[in-house]
Chain A
Amino acid sequence: MATLCKNCSHALVFNPESQLLECSYCGGSFRPDEIESEAKEYRQDLKAESMNEVYGTEIEKFMDCYVYSCSECGGEIIVNGTEASTTCVYCGNPNVVFSRIARQKCPEYVLPFSVTKEQAIELVRGKIGKGFFIPKQIKEFSPECVRGIYVPYWIVNATFSNAVIVYGKTGWGKYAEVNHYGRAGDLELKNFPVDASRALSDESSSKLEPFDLSHLKPFDEDYLAGFYSNVSDVTYGDVKNAVFKRAQKYFDEEVQDNVSAEKTKILHSCPSLKLDNDMVYAMMPVWFITLKHKRKHVTILVNGDTGKVVCGIPLDKSRFYPILFGLGILLTAAAFALFYYTFFILAIAPLLTYFLGAGIIVLFSMGIRKIVRAMRSIKLAQDNDMFTFMKKRQG
């Protein structure tokens, strides 16, 4: 069901720039809270029917498909089990599956889009336009598909308690000393957002943080007009795991900082997590932009409120590998010449050799870590699950 214009009954669409619902037909614009709520109440009982029931079939691939009628043209709208708003493939009008956001299932807050589609594309162009190792085709991309999706989140308060034994080393050489340190404490996590959509990986969604929760508005389905949205489908265990992982990371980092030793690592821990009951269900805005590169789909995410761009862009291999090998050979040759002609210094100062060896190992591991991190992000942007999450929608 779409929200209709008071003047001409044409479907209204939410404009992130003006933060108003706008009618493309008569030019009318309305604040979302201005729209009558009487009509919304009766729509809550309109439910999407299972596709197999409608067609009297038992086909497995339709198990998660539901049929709904477009309020504008009567066309068939097919949504999956978690979609709450979509666009009619026949008339292009926005539609909201009200039964999915009715009463108890209704999110309490929504963070409306404030970045428009055009701004999102510009932000991406600004980020990828200058990179030396970004392929030319990607720099001049024309997006294959751009979708604004409200992703469901649970905003959680939690208390993480832990008692840990930390290994730490102090001093050098013969003065080196290894000690074990005990630390116990509680860590309170306030307003931590957990992505509530199973189809979207936590690794991708967590990179969209931080969200500016001061922009949250009490939920009104009119904010969904013109955008896609999903409802929560995660379990209590999923939320707890996500909060646990992050809380443990923060706890471990702070504990290791608290120990006055080097090369610290956690040897033993007894963590426990308690989620508060006052979890808040909110919808957060994300632009999904896909482009095709060498038969692979690259999905770029843009936080629809802060404009943060998240993506691992594939490398321009024709530039990257020749430079990598060329530079590798050049630097190795230079280093060989340096060591060969200054070796007598190293021979008379064994401590210097020791430091040099340790420095080389640190340098090498830092470099490898940076390359692996970038490669992981690139792989994540080409992840099929994320592409399916945004692509498999009608319209």
Chain B
Amino acid sequence: METAMLIIYSIAILFALGLGLGLTCLIMGTIIDKTNNIGDSRGTNDDYKAYIHFTARKDKLTDKEEKEFISTYSVKNEDLSSEPEGRDLVRRLSGEELDGDGDAAAKREKMLKGPAKKQSLWDDGQPQNDLSGVFRPLKDK
């Protein structure tokens, strides 16, 4: 009987300590997170339109299938030579360099010109450009 009571006491103490201290931490943590930790948030994937376009989905994979999946779908940066060295300072590309990269040159030219105005039935009056949705028209205050 005494042993049973001792076990009951021990478990009750253990549970009580866990629940008591856990609740205390949760209450105090929530309060200081709200009052003392101000602005602790970052841009979300919505802000940067960062959504995944899935190219493959497979469920319940075996070990062999896992290896196959990784080797089939992993993307390797094959053309690393086209990228600057990691230790190079980031800088704006010169006119000549941009001419070499038609796509980047065109995008930049479009951006520097400012948003191109496009009217359509669906147009809400917001000029559209490459960065539409984020680079909206420059408004004068």
The chain A residues found within 8 Å of chain B, CB to CB, are 19, 104-106, 108, 114, 127-128, 130-134, 154, 161-163, 165, 179-193, 196, 206-210, 213-218, 232-240, 246-247, 250-251, 253-255, 258, 268, 270, 272-281, 301, 308-315, 320, 323-324, 327-336, 338-340, 343, 346-347, 356-357, 360-361, 363-364, 366-371, 373-374, 377-378
Contact = CB atoms under 8 A, between A and B. Distances in A.
Nearest to B68: A182
18 contacts: A104-B94, A106-B92, A127-B38, A163-B69, A163-B73, A163-B75, A180-B61, A192-B43, A193-B43, A206-B42, A215-B138, A301-B39, A332-B16, A333-B20, A335-B23, A343-B11, A360-B18, A374-B37
Contacts of B108: 278
Contacts of B104: 276-278
Interface residues of B, number: 90
B67 to A, nearest CB: 9
Interface string B35-74: 1111111111101111111111111110001100110111
A270 B86 contact: no
A183 B54 contact: yes
| Residue of B22, B45, B104 with highest tally of chain A CB at under 10 A | B22
A186, A188, A364 pick with most chain B CB within 10 angstroms: A364
Contacts of B18: 357, 360-361, 363-364
B28 A280 contact: no
Contacts of B92: 104-106, 108, 281
Contacts of B15: 335, 339, 356-357, 360
B121 interface: no
A187 B53 CA distance: 6
Contacts, number: 331
B70 A268 contact: yes
B140 interface: yes
Contacts of A378: 36-37
B121 to A, nearest CB: 23
Interface in B13-36: 13, 15-33, 35-36
Contact of B20 (A206, A258, A274, A335): A335
A369 B40 CA distance: 14
Contacts of A335: 15-17, 19-20, 23
Contacts of B94: 104
A250 B108 CA distance: 27
